[in-house]
Amino acid sequence: MTVLYSPSPAFAEAVSYLSNASSLAQVSNSVKLELYGLFKFLTVAPSPNTSRPSFFDISGRAKWDAWKLAAETYEGRPSEAEHRYLDVARDLGWKEGAPAAVTDETEERAERGGGSGMGVSVSVISSPQQDEAATGLHACAMRGDVAATSAFLHAGEDLDIDALDEYGYTALHLAADRGNVDTVELLLKHGADKTVEDTDGYTAADLAAIAQRPDIVALLEPK
């Protein structure tokens, strides 16, 4: 009989922090999935206990693969998996033993999707093509501010609606990931490209599927 690993109290703190940290606003999906896999490996079972989801279940398949990868990477070494999880939490601002309010006090509160303690921080290189207008458009799309997004889209003909931010996301990626359906519809109306991939190879539809938003996936599917 397999004995499930018992994570430390620090792990529980880190999970709680990552479930609510505003620093999750900009993260790489590949590392989000890594954290999901680590979490399942440490708290549910050393390896997936269900069959692999079908190709058409994008979200479920990606999560299952992440869990399997964690199992293969850290087989017999759960303490190392926990250390990896804690290192990521520290990168996002978590401080062991600090009250949540203290840990978060220097962060800018931003709109975000459901956390579940899976979010992570990544090292990125700022895109030289990113300009101030594009940054504003991305921020508005992420917040789901339809009025402000519309204002940016009407601000000038030079605005590239498909411009990538410093993390490799378009405004459509961010709106889809956050579940902002009205903003997604607005961006599509203005010609946003559904096929653009982020640095991890995900389209906006893929992110919506991972976020379990079938309504947005339906909007983004090829017609």
Q: Is residue 64 part of a domain?
A: yes
Determine the length of the chain.
Answer: 223
Q: Domains in the chain: how many in total?
A: 2
Contacts of 214 (CB under 8 A, 6+ apart): 208
86, 104, 122 — which closes off a domain? Answer: 104
Dihedrals phi, psi of 220, to nearest 5 degrees = -95, -5
Rounded distance, CA 203 to CA 198, Å? 6
What is the predicted pLDDT for the residue at 183?
Answer: 95
Q: Is residue 201 part of a domain?
A: yes
What is the predicted pLDDT for the residue at 4?
Answer: 67
Low-confidence ranges of the chain (pLDDT < 70): 1-4, 20-27, 55-56, 98-135, 156-157
User: Beta-carbon neighbour count of residue 219 at 10 Å?
Assistant: 17
Q: Which residues of 169-180 are buried (b: 16+ CB within 10 A; e: fewer)?
A: bbbbbbbbbbbb
Residue 18 belongs to domain with CATH number = 1.20.80.10
- Residues 22, 75 within the same domain: yes
pTM assigned to the model:
0.50
- Residues 61, 141 within the same domain: no
Whole domain around residue 89: which residue ranges? 9-104
**pLDDT tens sequence across 21-33:** 666 656 677 777 8
**pLDDT tens sequence across 182-196:** 999 999 999 999 999
85 near 35, Cβ under 8 Å? yes
Distances in whole angstroms, Cα of residue 58 to Cα of each of 145, 190, 216: 28, 27, 14
63, 85, 104 — which closes off a domain? Answer: 104
What is the predicted pLDDT for the residue at 187?
Answer: 96
What is the predicted pLDDT for the residue at 91?
Answer: 85
Looking at residue 74, what DSSP letter applies? S
- Residues 167, 209 within the same domain: yes
Residue 198 belongs to domain with CATH number = 1.25.40.20
Q: Is residue 111 part of a domain?
A: no
Rounded distance, CA 183 to CA 3, Å? 47
Q: Is residue 30 part of a domain?
A: yes
Q: Is residue 119 part of a domain?
A: no
The one-letter amino acid at 55: F
Q: Is residue 4 part of a domain?
A: no
Rounded distance, CA 115 to CA 117, Å? 5
195 near 166, Cβ under 8 Å? no
What is the predicted pLDDT for the residue at 207?
Answer: 87
